[in-house]
């Protein structure tokens, strides 16, 4: 028992030392950026499935020895996402990770917390190109707000990215309508809240829901290049309860009137048919009586 616990402690110590060495190497890389490979910038929307390529896969390395690491900024700990080609189950995103045949890291259903730097490695200190993932999110503000009710509501657009890139440039988060026209200041059905850092707001005025079927788009632009955009369309889940009751009462009244009209028509038709039958019966009786009278007169004569 003691021997097993001692062996486990040694293994944990070795793994801890390996991680410490890795962090020291990464600190050196951060301080002397020229020692690492190139950088790949990827932009995706929240909810996307992304593939982070590892360019060293074109060499003689094999994927079973690939490691993937992640960190958000210089002050956060390095997370081991993939170790020896296998998902590290201690990763908070382990259930959404995978590695393909090209040693690329696959992350399913990304969210804002997945933004940051991802690095693949095929041996101690052999860092591959860095992949910097930025995630664009658009949602009602505050979270959980219901935009399906009459009145104004606010949309928040935010870009999460590697913190060392600094704040987003001014006027890099733009709001546009279905035609691609930028929504600036205040206009019919909207009011722009401006941009602070990597967050921008847009207040939508539903105005009796005339704007409820419109699509609002947030774009992240660098220079004249549109990097990523996300769309939002308010979706009404139903009508208010009192309105539903009124609709049911109205439909019930219409159906009732129609039933009365149908029953009335059937009754009139049955009445006409009965009158015709009575008239026909009376006529037949009169005809029979006349025949009998004529026959009686003939016998008398």
What does CATH list as the number for 142-232? 2.60.40.10
- Whether CATH 2.60.40.10 fits 9-135: yes
Cβ(67)–Cβ(82) below 8 Å: yes
pLDDT digit string (tens) for 160-169?
999 888 899 9
One fold for both 9-135 and 142-232? yes
- The per-residue pLDDT of the chain, averaged, comes to 76
Cβ(200)–Cβ(173) below 8 Å: yes
* Mean local confidence (pLDDT), 32-54: 80
Domain residue spans in the chain? 9-135, 142-232
Per-residue confidence at 230, pLDDT binned at 50, 70, 90? very high
In this predicted structure, the answer to whether residue 239 has a pLDDT above a threshold of 60 is: no
């Amino acid at each position: 028992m003691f021997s097993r616990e001692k062996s486990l402690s040694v293994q944990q110590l070795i793994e801890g030392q390996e991680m410490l060495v890795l962090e020291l190497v990464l600190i050196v890389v951060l301080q002397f950026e020229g020692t690492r490979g190139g950088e790949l910038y990827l932009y995706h929307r929240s909810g996307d499935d992304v593939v982070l390529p590892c360019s060293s896969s074109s060499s003689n390395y094999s994927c079973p020895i690939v490691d993937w690491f992640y960190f958000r900024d210089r002050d956060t700990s390095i997370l081991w996402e993939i170790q020896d080609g296998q998902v590290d189950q201690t990763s908070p995103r382990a259930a959404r990770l995978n590695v393909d045949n090209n040693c690329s890291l696959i992350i399913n259903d990304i969210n804002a917390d997945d933004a940051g730097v991802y690095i693949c490695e095929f041996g101690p200190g052999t860092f591959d190109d860095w992949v910097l993932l930025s995630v664009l999110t658009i949602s009602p503000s505050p979270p959980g707000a219901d935009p399906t009710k009459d009145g104004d509501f606010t949309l928040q657009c935010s870009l999460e990215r590697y913190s060392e890139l600094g704040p987003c440039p001014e006027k890099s988060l733009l709001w546009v309508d279905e035609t691609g026209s930028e929504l600036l200041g205040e206009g019919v059905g909207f009011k722009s809240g401006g941009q602070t850092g990597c967050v921008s707001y847009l207040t939508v005025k539903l105005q009796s829901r005339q704007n409820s079927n419109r699509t609002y788009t947030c774009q992240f632009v660098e220079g004249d290049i549109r990097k990523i955009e996300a769309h939002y369309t308010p979706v009404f889940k139903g009508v208010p309860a009192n309105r539903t009751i009124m609709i049911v009462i109205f439909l019930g009244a219409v159906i009732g009137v129609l039933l009365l009209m149908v029953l009335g028509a059937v009754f009139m038709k049955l009445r006409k048919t009965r009158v015709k039958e009575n008239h026909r019966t009376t006529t037949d009786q009169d005809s029979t009586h006349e025949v009998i009278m004529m026959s009686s007169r003939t016998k008398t004569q």
